[in-house]
Amino acid sequence: MNVEEKMAVLADAAKYDASCSSSGSSRKGTTGMTLPSGCCHSWTPDGRCVSLLKTLLSNVCIYDCAYCINRCGNDVKRATFTVDEVVNLTAEFYRRNYIEGLFLSSAVFVSPDHTMEQMIRVVRTLREERRFGGYIHLKAIPGAGMELIDRAGRYADRVSVNIELPSAQSLQRLAPDKKKDDIIRPMAYIGEHWKQAKTERQKNHKAPRFAPAGQSTQMIIGATPESDKHILDLSQNLYDSYSLKRVYFSAYIPVNLAESRLPVLPMPPLLREHRLYQADWLLRMYKFRAHELLNEEEPNLDPQLDPKAGWALRNFHHFPVEINTADYEWLLRVPGIGVLSAKRIIAARRSRCLDFSHLKRIGVVMKRAQFFITCSGKFSGGLRSSPESVRKALILREKPSVKAEQLQLFQ
Amino acid sequence: MDIEYRYDGSPDGLLCAIADAVRKKEQPSVISGPFQEGLLYADRCHTVTTDEARADEVIAYFRRKVSKEAARNLLYCLAGPFETMEAELLAYYRMGLRLGRSLDRNHADPIVHAVHQAARAVGHEIHRFKGLLRFRQLQDGLYWAPFEPDYDIISALVPHFRARLWDQRWMIHDLRRARAVVWDGRRLYAEPQPAKLLQDNPVSDEEVEVRQLWKTFFKSVTIESRTNPKLQARCMPLRYWRWLPEMEV
């Protein structure tokens, strides 16, 4: 098999990994450097960005996970890159500004430790022999030894372990070879060492780095029966306990059609994925807590309304918020006001009293915000007394950004 | 009294016009370039002398008096749509001298807003091309990066690529404005005749191979069941596709 054929197999096999970020690290080598802001280099026809050379080292797998295209029971083309092939591809792509760096993952061949060692050889060659300063995201293989995870963290900008499924039971059912503990242990290890290295480097800027861009994880949405509440609670826990930077959700795409353990869906649950990402954003950037967004009575996100508007309608008694006096935290809670516009409001109102025309200029999305704010005591647009009527008005104004799921005629 | 300022249509010319207006404490009714219509009846017409050194001073003064951020906004506008916003830029400059550091927090002000919008558009394009610029290896080892940006952003891109690709020789080439900057491994310089470097210098064999690999990669990472060409075109506008190897048919 030549490099191109291998590329076709291994890049194809890696594409279901949702993570693409290249941000959060600042590094410089002989060739290449990383931008703290990250950088997208292209966009594929599915609208996802390409920022890293995302590939598997090998798709030869000893495991048999129900949702995975590379499981050992499947009859697919198998390929394995050599270390030099990945190193050269990364370097040549980087020279042409095709990519920001490398995202290397792998199926588990021979053993977790063996796989991890091979992956580390790639990044070691890149960093030490080629003096490569670009971004490297390395997937940690569940079950690999901690000293290997430690070495991975020394070379990579981000190390991540995929949690795969939202609960231990689902994992047991669909990926019997992977143990919950094998996933959580490296995650805890990375979280702890990342924190340590960060404090060390604040004291001494020559202290060694450990995955400076932090860790992320990914789980499949819609293949198992967990509710949105369960998923968000889990995400919240991961952020709190293991200092994760991101939790990625990937809408379940059936790749193994003859698998009885998995549901049959007409299309991937993209809208659900979208709403979960919106909720996740609220956790990370807007200081929301998972229990505020969902509870036992309403365990799933409303497909018709974004989660922030949903929260605002359930807590209608807190509104309206007065733009000219409200705290930053309260501005952030208004639907239609984002982090940027909240900061701008705080800055702009130091020089003048703001009215609605100013807010438009500032970038507030008035079609949502109008129901929840006053400017110097004045309401704009329709004053509505009940959350139900606001809800209707919001849904009317909402362009569907993601196509709603096609309903089944016969079920 | 209607005063008209005429300048040569260059960014430096506009900076000198702004400096003249500020120094003479005048409020020109219109600042017009060579291809713009001036006033039909101007009481007085002042022709601005363009002076590069003076233009640099105008920016430096603004940076000192106001802020780095404000000076950057001004520079970005001058790399972008300044020919449609001379009056706003003059007003922004004046406002900056009056308000000092607090200038840019006036997000609700129409002048500040207009300048921020324009500067953001230019900044956005700079960021985009940090990702979308593509280098191709030519036979003599030079990496050639042609592109056709909306704004004159080549000088903003150069430092980024010097830090990133400093162990290879390259030329970034703005085809729309026929401007090129070369990095020869030691120093940067503007290349007045980029065509000369490209003559009898086709892409290398290695380039053909790597490009094919890149196309294969690009095709392989696409998830067909999530196809969303609208989203793709929004993130990566069609006008940029011409120089992207992965978008070649």
DSSP secondary structure, A342-385, as one string: HHHHHHHTTTS---HHHHHHHT--HHHHTTTEEETTEE-S----
Minimal Cα–Cα distance from B219 to chain A, Å?
8
Size of interface A-B (CB pairs under 8 A): 156
Minimum mean pLDDT among A53-57, A103-107, A125-129, A260-264: which range?
A260-264
pLDDT on residue A216: 94
Q: What is the mean pLDDT of chain A?
A: 91
pLDDT on residue A345: 96
For the structural domain made of A3-214, what CATH number should be given? 3.20.20
pLDDT on residue A86: 97
Residues 6+ apart with CB under 8 A from A294: A227, A228, A229, A232, A279, A300, A301
Residue A265 pLDDT greater than 80, yes or no:
yes
Q: Which of A47, A92, A351 sits opposite B232 (nearest CB)?
A: A47
pLDDT on residue A253: 86
Residue A334 pLDDT greater than 90, yes or no:
yes
Contact A45 B136 (CB under 8 A): no
Residue A332 pLDDT greater than 90, yes or no:
yes
Contact B227 A42 (CB under 8 A): no
List the Cα angle B74/B79/B81 in 5-degree steps.
85
List the structure tokens of B122. 């230019």
A114: nearest Cα among A180, A57, A178 = A57
Contact A11 B217 (CB under 8 A): yes
Helix, strand, coil abundance in chain B, percent, nearest 5: 55, 15, 30
Residues 6+ apart with CB under 8 A from A60: A78, A80, A107, A109
pLDDT on residue A22: 85
Name the band, by pLDDT with cuts 50, 70 and 90, for residue A387.
Answer: confident
Residues 6+ apart with CB under 8 A from A166: A219, A221, A224, A226, A230, A231, A234
**Could you tell me if B203 lies within 8 Å of chain A, comparing CB atoms?**
no
**Could you tell me if B176 lies within 8 Å of chain A, comparing CB atoms?**
no
B115: nearest Cα among A235, B123, A197 = B123
Contact A47 B229 (CB under 8 A): yes
At position A92, the amino acid (one-letter code) is E
Q: Which residues pair with B181 in a beta bridge?
A: B172, B190
Residue A410 pLDDT greater than 70, yes or no:
no
Q: pLDDT > 70: what percent of chain A?
A: 96
Q: In what order do the strands lie in the sheet with A135-139?
A: A52-56, A101-105, A135-139, A158-160
Q: Which of A14, A43, A46 sits opposite B226 (nearest CB)?
A: A46
**Domain extents for chain A?**
3-214, 307-397
pLDDT on residue A146: 94
Contact A33 B163 (CB under 8 A): yes
pLDDT on residue A213: 93
A369 touches A359 (CB < 8 A) = yes
Query: ipTM value of the model?
Result: 0.92
Which residues of B fall within a CB distance of 8 Å from A351? 102, 105-106, 108-109
How do residues A280-292 score in pLDDT, each as one tens digit? Answer: 999 999 999 999 9
Whole-number Å distance between alpha carbons of A125 and A119:
10
Residue A384 pLDDT greater than 70, yes or no:
yes
Contact A43 B236 (CB under 8 A): yes
Minimal Cα–Cα distance from A28 to chain B, Å?
8
Q: How far apart are the first and last CA of chain B?
A: 60
Contact B235 A47 (CB under 8 A): yes
Which residues of B fall within a CB distance of 8 Å from A28? 163
- Cis omega (within 30 of 0) on the bond before A166? no
Contact B214 A93 (CB under 8 A): yes
Which residues in chain B come in under a pLDDT of 70? none
**Could you tell me if B105 lies within 8 Å of chain A, comparing CB atoms?**
yes
Name the band, by pLDDT with cuts 50, 70 and 90, for residue A404.
Answer: low
Q: Which residues pair with A102 in a beta bridge?
A: A53, A136
Residues 6+ apart with CB under 8 A from A14: A54, A55, A56, A103, A105, B221
Which residues of A fall within a CB distance of 8 Å from B234? 47
pLDDT on residue B158: 96
Q: Closest chain A residue to B227 measured between Cα atoms?
A: A46
Q: Closest chain A residue to B131 measured between Cα atoms?
A: A41
pLDDT on residue A405: 56
CA Rg value for chain A: 23
Which residues of B fall within a CB distance of 8 Å from A324? none
Let me know if A116 is exposed, middle or buried by CB neighbors in 10 A (0-12, 13-18, 19+).
buried
Residue A350 pLDDT greater than 60, yes or no:
yes
Residue A28 pLDDT greater than 90, yes or no:
no
Indicate which of B168, B217, B234 best probes the interface with A, i.e. most A CBs within 10 Å of its own CB: B217
pLDDT on residue B238: 93
DSSP character at residue B180 = E
pLDDT on residue A400: 58
**Could you tell me if B108 lies within 8 Å of chain A, comparing CB atoms?**
yes
Place of tokens 């009714």: B29
Residue A113 has, within 13 A of its CA and on its CB side, a CA count of: 3
List the structure tokens of A392. 């209707």
Q: Which of B106, B134, B222 sits opposite A44 (nearest CB)?
A: B222
pLDDT on residue A23: 86
pLDDT on residue A129: 94
Which residues of B fall within a CB distance of 8 Å from A42? 131-132, 218, 236, 244, 246
Indicate which of A253, A331, A351 best probes the interface with B, i.e. most B CBs within 10 Å of its own CB: A351
Neighbours of B166 (CB within 10 A): 17
Q: Closest chain A residue to B224 measured between Cα atoms?
A: A46
How do residues B65-84 score in pLDDT, each as one tens digit? Answer: 999 999 999 999 999 999 99
Which residues of A fall within a CB distance of 8 Å from B127? 37, 39
B18 touches B90 (CB < 8 A) = yes
A98 touches A52 (CB < 8 A) = no
Q: Closest chain A residue to B226 measured between Cα atoms?
A: A46
A239 touches A232 (CB < 8 A) = no
Contact A54 B221 (CB under 8 A): yes
